[in-house]
């Protein structure tokens, strides 16, 4: 890794080395990944040899670049956090349109901090808390927590275990991929703790919906991202736990991706 001040000085030879390793790994497919990488080379603090090694190791282009755009910001990322997904941006859009103001916000499982930090920009006078069980993820979120003067309060917590107050809005993109499909090769470079949950991917969602009512103000909202086949279970859990006005919305590719409800 080069120091930040030692950004890569790129020449034609470097580009050729990168193109060759890319084509040895991906052939002619996934050219958009290569273009993205080349476009971002000037911002990468790594040697060409390191970049080539990472291409050969099949590392996602987002992790090679080391940062990724999300909503209205750009987020430092590494192998300890989920790569922020466009599906999650759709949930943020809905929150902005649905909730005009709020005082206290909680993001559960913050990873890179992308949801919490974007919400702290959208609600500049709200107090935004964000937790994660992973200390390594919190280190990444801290690096991203400079994008707005309304800094997010980041701390370690196993879901609600260290939460001591109530919120108007609780948001979470928890792990929801079933353990049974933990062999999905496209996910091998992201942390298991960010992706997989027991009970067909439902165990963390179940826990969060069950406990959220104790940490929400009356008429507060819970927003939760989930798998495309989990809508019925999520809605049932919300009903069982006293939530009302339950709705599920689709992501940009038409998959039922997040549900929300009022207490």
Ligand X SMILES: C[S@@+](CC[C@H](N)C(=O)[O-])C[C@H]1O[C@@H](n2cnc3c(N)ncnc32)[C@H](O)[C@@H]1O
What are the residues binding ligand X (CB under 6 A)? 81-82, 84, 88, 109-112, 114-115, 131-134, 137, 158-159, 173-175, 193-194, 204
Closest CB to ligand X among residues 19, 143:
143
Quote the CA–CA distance of 263 and 46 in Å, as a whole number: 48
Closest CB to ligand X among residues 14, 133:
133
Q: How far is the CB of 158 from ligand X (least distance, A)?
A: 4
C-alpha R_g of the chain: 20
Identify the bridge partners of residue 67 per DSSP, sorted by sequence position. 76
Q: How far is the CB of 147 from ligand X (least distance, A)?
A: 15
Pair type for strands 127-132 and 153-156: parallel
What is the chain's length? Answer: 263
Closest CB to ligand X among residues 18, 222:
222
Quote the CA–CA distance of 155 and 137 in Å, as a whole number: 11
Q: Which residues of 116-139 are buried (b: 16+ CB within 10 A; e: fewer)?
A: bbbbbebbeebbbbbbbebeebbe
Closest CB to ligand X among residues 180, 245:
180
How many Å separate Cα 91 from the centre of its chain? Answer: 12
Going across the sheet that includes 167-172, the strands are 153-156, 127-132, 104-108, 167-172, 216-225, 256-262, 244-250
Q: How far is the CB of 207 from ligand X (least distance, A)?
A: 8
Closest CB to ligand X among residues 51, 84:
84
Q: How far is the CB of 161 from ligand X (least distance, A)?
A: 8
CA dihedral 199, 200, 202, 203 (to 10 degrees): 30
Closest CA to 44 of 72, 19, 70, 78: 78
Q: How far is the CB of 52 from ligand X (least distance, A)?
A: 28
Closest CB to ligand X among residues 48, 208:
208
Q: How far is the CB of 6 from ligand X (least distance, A)?
A: 29
Q: How far is the CB of 195 from ligand X (least distance, A)?
A: 6
Instruction: Check: CB of residue 195 under 8 Å from CB of residue 82.
Output: yes
Closest CB to ligand X among residues 60, 175:
175
């Amino acid at each position: 890794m080069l120091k930040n001040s030692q950004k890569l000085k790129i020449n034609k030879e470097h580009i050729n080395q990168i193109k060759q390793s890319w084509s040895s790994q991906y052939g002619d497919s996934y050219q958009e990944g290569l273009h993205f990488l080349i476009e971002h080379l000037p911002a990468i603090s790594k040697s060409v040899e390191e970049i080539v090694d990472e291409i050969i190791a099949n590392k996602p282009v987002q992790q090679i670049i080391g940062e990724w755009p999300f909503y209205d910001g750009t987020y430092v990322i590494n192998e300890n956090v989920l790569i922020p997904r466009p599906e999650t941006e759709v949930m943020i859009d809905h929150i902005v349109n649905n909730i005009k103001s709020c005082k206290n916000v909680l993001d559960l499982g913050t990873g890179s901090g992308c949801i919490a930090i974007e919400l702290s920009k959208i609600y500049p006078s709200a107090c935004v808390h964000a937790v994660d069980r992973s200390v390594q993820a919190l280190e990444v979120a801290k690096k991203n927590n400079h994008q707005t003067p309304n800094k997010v309060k980041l701390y370690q917590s196993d879901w609600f275990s260290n939460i001591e107050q109530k919120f108007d809005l609780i948001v979470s993109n928890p792990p929801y991929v079933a353990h049974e499909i933990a062999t999905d090769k496209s996910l091998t470079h992201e942390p298991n703790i960010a992706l997989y949950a027991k009970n067909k991917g439902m165990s963390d969602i179940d826990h969060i919906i069950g406990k959220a009512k104790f940490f929400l103000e009356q008429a507060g909202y819970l927003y939760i991202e989930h798998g495309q086949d989990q809508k019925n279970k999520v809605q049932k859990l919300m009903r069982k736990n006293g939530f009302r006005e339950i709705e599920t919305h689709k992501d940009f590719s038409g998959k039922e991706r997040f549900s929300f409800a009022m207490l």
